[in-house]
Structure 1
């Protein structure tokens, strides 16, 4: 099971991080990439559900970013799929804006659409010891709208905290 994950991508950058202790590399598996993608998609659905229920969706999005993205731990390369004017999000606040609106004027709140399901179709995954790269499409199902298909390219690096 992955303890720490860093994924930087043209579409999404995901990371589960803890403290900035010494890190020892551990092999990544294709199954772990799929599990990470599934968990990320479930998080997007959860943010939308919290929004629909009138809850603190911003806090839910912040937790999602902290769980899956490396902001504050590593450099993150994040190119949101639906961003056109301000194409890259190098800070936590810019990424949060993409998910739930905020500091970037073009953002409409991607994660508060809301979606009921995220499905991944990987064209392929390349595993190389402590990193993996996956490319394909992911599909977002809404309650009332057509399902958008988005392209994805993910690079995954794994760290395990050494005590």
Structure 2
């Protein structure tokens, strides 16, 4: 049986809600770290197979193949694995919404690509381009490919 678009949309909604919740917990570091660990276990396929994770705001350590490196990216903290991390998910964000440009749906794998938008406390949206690959593990979609980047800005085009 094929993975459905509805399953991917649900996985995206769960991911976005999780990012928002991480930010809401930033004042309680113990709870925030515990929740983020759980979030990474539930949403990503760390520990079961390779995860190709290339988050947006990374310059020196662009690729994060381990759960510890992903945790560092999401919440940073004194024990962060990557020194450049500031804690992307503890911004905090109030909303995450996906605008998908397309899907590839297979029996145990799905890929989605498009833009996602992160709303901050003032209501400003940050637009980010993304590609997520999902693997079906125990009837749950787990991310094993995560690539995101800011949109290209052509310096020759005057707005």
TM-score by length of 2: 0.80
Cα distance in 2 for residues equivalent to 1:54 and 1:71? 22
- Distance of aligned partners of 1:132 and 1:95 in 2 relative to their CA distance in 1, 3 Å threshold: same
In structure 2, which of residues 84, 92, 96 is the aligned counterpart of residue 114 of structure 1?
92
* Pairs aligned (count): 136
Contact 1:45–1:116 at 8 Å: present in 2 too? Answer: yes
2:21 to 32, 38, 46: 46
Q: Does the 8 Å CA contact 1:99/1:109 hold for their aligned counterparts? A: yes
Runs ≥4 residues deviating over 4 A: 52-55
With a CA cutoff of 8 Å and minimum separation of 6, indicate the structure with the bigger relative contact order: 1
What's the CA shift string for 1:43-91, capped at 9, x where partnerless? 0001111114666211111111111111111111000111111001111
**2:115 aligned residue:** 137
Alignment CA distance shift 1:160-1:103 (3 Å): closer
User: Which residue of the partner structure matches residue 44 of structure 2?
Assistant: 69
Where does residue 7 of structure 2 map in the other structure?
A: 32
CA distance 1:106–1:112, change in 2 (3 Å): same
Segments of 5+ residues of structure 2 without an aligned counterpart are: 140-159
Q: TM-score, normalised by structure 1?
A: 0.78
Q: Deviations over 1:23-48 (max 9, x none)?
A: xxx52101100000000000000111
How much has 1:144 moved relative to structure 2? 2.7
Secondary structure in 2 aligned to 1:88? coil
